[in-house]
Amino acid sequence: METVLQHPLFIPILMTLIIIGVFPLLAGYLVLVERKVLADFQVRLGPMRVGPHGFLQPIADALKLFLKEDILPSEADRAIFWMAPVISTFTALSAFAVIPFAPSLYVADVNVGLLVISATSAVGILGIILGGWASNSHYPLLGGLRSAAQLVSYEVALSLALISGVMMAGTLSMVGIVEAQRSRGVWFAFDNFGLMLVPFTVYVISAIAETNRAPFDLPEAESELVAGFHTEYSGFRWALYFLAEYANIFVVSSVAITLFWGGWLRPFPNVGFLEVPLNYVFPALLMLGSGAGSFLLLKNLKSSTQKAVLAAIAVVLITTGLLFLIPAVNQALIGLFWFFLKVAVMVYALIWFRGTFPRFRYDQLMNIGWKYMIPIGMGAILVNAVVGIALANPKF
């Protein structure tokens, strides 16, 4: 047993299994959160029937998708039609391999980690356009063409935004980037007198376009293209596309957090006296508060099974909050806590954009990409390079 635990491949294999096993569930709950938040923006309730406040809705959805008929269009190119969603899901999940969730919780620390993520997202484009082509139908083909043009355009702006961050870190390794922020004592988003917020903005806008989300969701614009490239997909294959989409959302949020917002670091990572309030009191208060809030919701529920489920959730939240007060557990989990908290804020912001902005027209999309994002990204590189060098050499 000891030799198994000490083996250098133990953590990577364990992390791989956890990611593959847990992410589909997480994606289901991301969908639920998105539906609930959008419902809140539109003054609706959202899913309410399955479980307390729709808490078990993702499981019902997943079951439905498993059991649905798998339709293969008769004129479709069978092999490619089968492969396309697999390509999307495979590339989206393999990007997780280089994301550091906590100081030692990652599958691999590659010295070109950021480029590996770019590469996986570049291959992921193929899943979308091949799926659109293989369906042998007009709307999917148009959706596939649109997304090919859109993704290739915004990939440039995305890379330019990443370069600014890499320049500050001096390394492409994801762990190295976080360590560089720790040694500088500031998250990169606030470095260079706040100038790094410019590439961060460019990154977020391009990332939304790169993940095909509103307001840049032209490849799947319902009012024009039915459902875009996945119009002909149903059942489990469609679910694979959906899984890939949410995995991509999670990946771009994680990259933004790692590169600009300090990854697993707490706010003010080098200020010693903030350790207790931020690493112990804050997570405990957050979890206990949510648990207490869930208990308060109990009295509004009528069905006794729903009450039981909600009570169980509340107990889990309170136990987690109490666990964070134990120093040994806290040491192990606090990195994970900050990482996921920041990713959650980022994902919430992406949902917020979706709920707020109307969809852009196709020419507006291309204008924003080529005439604004790319020049701003290039300018950000120049300015941040000069300011960064000036800050590093005080004699200038």
Partner 1 sequence: MLETAFFYLFALLTLGGGVLMITRRSAVHSAIWLIVSLMGVAGLYLLQQAEFLFAVQIILYVGGIMVLFLFVIMLVNLDQAAKERQFVKPWWVALAVLLAIGGEFAYILRTNTGAFRFAVPVEQPPPAGGNTEILADVLFSQYLLPFEIASLLLLVAVVGSVIMARKRA
Stretch near partner 1 under the rule CB under 8 A, chosen from 62-70, 128-136, 199-207, 269-277: 128-136
Q: Does 313 bind partner 1 (CB under 8 A)?
A: no
Q: Which is nearer to partner 1, 87 or 284 (CB)?
A: 87
Task: Give the closest residue to 218 by CA, choosing from 360, 38, 374.
Answer: 360
Name which position in 81, 96, 133, 250 contacts partner 1 (CB under 8 A): 133
Task: Kindly state the smallest distance separating residue 274's Cβ from partner 1, in Å.
Answer: 33
Phi, psi of 123 (to 5 degrees): -70, -30
Does 149 interact with partner 1 (rule: CB under 8 A)?
A: yes
CB of 128 to partner 1, least distance (A): 10
Task: Select the residue interacting with partner 1 from 27, 32, 97, 116 (CB under 8 A).
Answer: 116
Q: Which of 111, 300, 356, 364 binds partner 1 (CB under 8 A)?
A: 111
Minimum CB–partner distance for residue 118 and partner 1 (Å): 5
**Which parts of 7-46 interact with partner 1 (CB under 8 A)?**
none
Distance CA(143)–CA(135), nearest Å, equals 11
Regarding 207 and contact with partner 1 (CB under 8 A), the answer is no
267 contacts: CB under 8 Å, gap ≥ 6: 187, 274, 278
Q: Residue 330 to residues 110, 254, 289, 290: CA-CA distances in angstroms?
A: 27, 22, 18, 18
C-beta closer to partner 1: residue 32 or 95: 95
Regarding 152 and contact with partner 1 (CB under 8 A), the answer is yes
Backbone angles phi, psi at 105, to 5 degrees: -100, 85
- Decide whether 155 or 245 has the Cβ nearer to partner 1: 155
Cβ-based nearer residue to partner 1, 144 or 199: 144
Q: Should residue 115 be labelled a site residue for partner 1 when binding is judged by CB under 8 A?
A: yes
Q: Which of residues 42-101 bind partner 1 (CB under 8 A)?
A: 77, 80
Q: Which of 31, 107, 148, 257 binds partner 1 (CB under 8 A)?
A: 148
Please pick, from the candidates 88, 89, 121, 135, the single residue that binds partner 1 as defined by CB under 8 A: 121
Minimum CB distance to partner 1 smaller for 16 or for 136: 136
Q: How far is the CB of 206 from partner 1 (least distance, A)?
A: 14
Which residue, 39 or 112, is less far from partner 1 as judged by CB? Answer: 112
Q: Please classify residue 271 by burial: count the beta carbons closer than 10 Å to its beta carbon, then call 0-12 exposed, 13-18 middle and 19+ buried.
A: exposed
* Neighbour-count burial of 78, counting CB atoms closer than 10 A to its CB (0-12 exposed, 13-18 middle, 19+ buried): exposed
By beta-carbon proximity to partner 1, the closer residue of 34 and 245 is: 245
Distances 173 to 69, 165, 170, 199, 229 between C-alpha atoms, Å: 43, 12, 9, 19, 34
Q: Which residue number, 156 or 274, has a Cβ lying nearer to partner 1?
A: 156
Between CA 51 and CA 48 the distance in angstroms is 7
Q: How many CA atoms lie within 13 A of 281 on its CB side?
A: 6
Contact at 8 Å (CB) between 40 and 46? yes
Q: In angstroms, how far is CA 85 from the centroid of its own chain?
A: 19
Closer Cβ to partner 1, 130 or 240, answer by number: 130
Stretches 51-59, 64-72, 123-131, 333-341: which one binds partner 1 (CB under 8 A)?
123-131
Residues between 176 and 195 that touch partner 1 (CB under 8 A): none
User: Which residues form the interface with partner 1 (CB under 8 A)?
Assistant: 77, 80, 110-112, 115-116, 118-119, 121-123, 125-126, 129-130, 132-133, 141, 144-145, 148-149, 151-152, 155, 171-172
